[in-house]
Structure 1
């Protein structure tokens, strides 16, 4: 497999297969939303779009980066979201990097959204797909976010070398700027457990596939068989923490 690593602004053409990586925290949060029972996640292009969707669908759950804000039900924190019951709900997510990256490649034939928590499921999906070329979109810091690049490289390696050890990739992610800012409380709308939750490898046994549904880009879980499946982590279960 020819793995290419690009920042959002480096995408000069639409890739055939794209894996959009946002470890801290958009797609860790998305995975937790599915684990908490969400049916689907709508990736919003702007805060205004998210609020407009909420106005049309009052039962949808809106989620954004940063501190709580009027019109939004939750913030982009896995530590805070893990106690929320989202059974059967639609989540509208708008973040500064992850959702932007996914929308930037919405014309691709396959778009996966990923973090460490769904690394093996994502690699397994790619192996099953058998794609010759995969573009990994490193969303943070204009393509320089160490946690996103480390995760992208780990998934790429894991796709072709299933015995790849995650330790060095996790070490890089743990030392990233994003991890430091979350640990030190620089980023608002965070929980003390966020970094640890973002670095849990293969927590969930599903890949996350984004596809156009009418005018919206919608993310859904795609269960992948795994010997490490834990029943409490399946998207249809209600977790308790």
Structure 2
């Protein structure tokens, strides 16, 4: 599998297969939304679009980056979202980087949205697809966010391994050393992690960084596709026996 890693501004053509990475925090939050029972997540183009969708569907749950705001039900924080009951609900999500990256590749034949919490499931989808070329969209900091790049590189590495190698290393991860350790350290040392921990960013729960660094918390991948005019994210269960809910 040939992997390339690009920022959103570098997306000059539509990739065949795209994996959009936002560790801190869009696609960690999206995974938690599914874990809390959400049926689907609509990725909004703008805050105004998110509010319009919410106005047209009052039972939908709208969330955004930053502090709470009128019209929105939640903020882009896994620590806060994990206490919400989203059973059967539709979530509308608008963030600074993650949703922008997913919408930028909406015409790709396969779009996966990912973070560390769904890394193995995402890698398994890529292995099953047997794609020759995969574009990883590193959404943060115009492609320079090390937490997103580390996650992208980790998933690419896992996806390129054979099933036998994967089974062996999965067993190894249950023991002392972990193949993901160096990648997780990079994410923990990233600018985004520091800003979250120090309260530079708003709408933050004290557990957000730790929750974003949980490897393979969930056994599902997240696939985005156009459904009519909307880009919709849905969960796809992949890893049998893995933790599926909050």
Is the pair's TM-score, using the shorter chain for normalization, greater than 0.5?
yes
- The structural deviation recorded for 1:40 is 0.1
* Residue of structure 2 in register with 1:95 after alignment: 95
Q: Residue in 2 aligned with 1:175?
A: 189
TM-score (ref. length: structure 1) = 0.95
Provide the secondary structure at the position in 2 that maps to 1:62. strand
The CA deviation at 1:160 is 1.7
Distance 1:225 1:142 in 2: 31
Are 1:201 and 2:209 counterparts?
Answer: no
SS of alignment partner, residue 222 of structure 1: strand
* Larger CA deviation: 215-224 vs 157-166: 157-166
Say if 2:65 is the partner of 1:65. Answer: yes
Find the aligned partners of 1:46 and 1:12 in 2 and give their Cα distance.
21
1:94-133 residue pairs with structure 2 within 5 A?
94-133=94-133
State how far apart, in whole Å, the 1-side matches of 2:157 and 2:205 are: 31
Partner-residue secondary structure (3-state), 1:180? helix
Residues 226-237 of structure 1: pairs in structure 2 closer than 5 A = 226=240, 229-230=242-243, 233-234=244-245
Gaps in structure 1 of 5+ consecutive residues? none
* Equivalence for 1:166: 180
Q: Paired residues, what number?
A: 232
- Aligned equivalents of 1:58, 1:51: Cα separation in 2: 10
- Normalization by structure 2: what TM-score? 0.93
State the distance in 1 between where 2:13 and 2:153 align: 21
Partner of 2:195, secondary structure, is helix
Q: Hey, what's the Cα distance between the residues in 1 that align with 2:239 and 2:149?
A: 26
In 2, distance between residues paired with 1:225 and 1:24?
A: 23
Name the structure 2 match of 1:184: 198
Find the aligned partners of 1:225 and 1:120 in 2 and give their Cα distance: 8
Q: Structure 1 residue 225: deviation in Å?
A: 2.8
